[in-house]
A and B are shown apart, each in its own frame.
Chain A
Amino acid sequence: AAGVIQSPRHLIKEKRETATLKCYPIPRHDTVYWYQQGPGQDPQFLISFYEKMQSDKGSIPDRFSAQQFSDYHSELNMSSLELGDSALYFCASSPLGWGYGYTFGSGTRLTVV
């Protein structure tokens, strides 16, 4: 069965650089969520999209932006990277917004050096 695909799996960037993370949801899932998980931390909700519109916003820094495209894939753009941005970034998708279990991707491990 198709799963949530995230790319790249690993990314190393220097401080002040820009990174773009991509997420391809399960077909026919119209909602995408982004989470950030620091080492030993619980996942922190960043932002979500429903039908290509921003649905909800969590603890996403102003340096980050995201969008969902017409094919429902989503991209998380991170600028002026800081050391503290090093984390696992997960994307999840679900049908109908909420009330269903989310399917998570394997995550992108971002390391800022």
Chain B
Amino acid sequence: SQQGEEDPQALSIQEGENATMNCSYKTSINNLQWYRQNSGRGLVHLILIRSNEREKHSGRLRVTLDTSKKSSSLLITASRAADTASYFCATDGGDNNDMRFGAGTRLTVKP
């Protein structure tokens, strides 16, 4: 991973449950973004949170950012089988102006 670790690496839940994924990073950031990737496909931007923001919502997604702990969490509420994918966090700032990805969490939502 170029930036940090995601926790857990894999998560399996039942449809309707909530899924929480965490991301830690190493350097100071300007922005943190969450992306989703279906197997072998391109990455889809989900949500961007700026370093001066603490929480952001988008539909069933809730993202928090704790810059003192250099960590972020992505909560997906009322999960659906279609949410099955890998979820990556990515940061920019610090030593780089370009986005660097964490290792990703593989989420499986069972119908």
> Which of chain B's residues 62-111 have a Cβ closer than 8 Å to chain A?
88, 92-93, 96-104
Give A78-113 as 1s and 0s: 1 = Cβ < 8 Å from B's Cβ atoms: 000000000010101000011111111111010000
For A39, the closest partner residue in chain B by CB is B40
Chain A, Cβ-Cβ closest to B96: A56
- Min Cβ gap B35→A in Å is 8
Say how far B5's CB is from chain A's closest CB, in angstroms. 10
Question: Does chain B have a CB within 8 A of A20?
Answer: no
Within 8 Å by CB of B42, from A42, A45, A58, A106, lies A106
Q: Which of B40, B45, B97, B101 contacts A97 (CB 8 A)?
A: B97
Among A97, A102, A103, A109, find the residue whose CB has the most chain B CB atoms closer than 10 A.
A102
CA distance A88 to B88 in the complex (A): 16
Task: Give the docked Cα–Cα distance between A107 and B44 (Å).
Answer: 12
Asked if A104 contacts B42 (CB within 8 A), the reply is: yes
Residues of B within 8 A of A48 (CB): 98
Set of chain B residues within 8 Å of A35, measured between Cβ atoms: 101
Given A33-B98, A42-B1, A43-B88, output 20 extra A-B contacts at Cβ < 8 Å: A33-B99, A44-B101, A45-B99, A45-B101, A56-B98, A59-B2, A88-B40, A97-B97, A98-B92, A98-B99, A99-B30, A99-B92, A102-B33, A102-B45, A102-B99, A103-B45, A104-B43, A107-B40, A107-B42, A109-B40
Q: Which residues of A contact B (CB under 8 A)?
A: 33, 35, 42-45, 48, 55-56, 58-59, 88, 90, 92, 97-107, 109
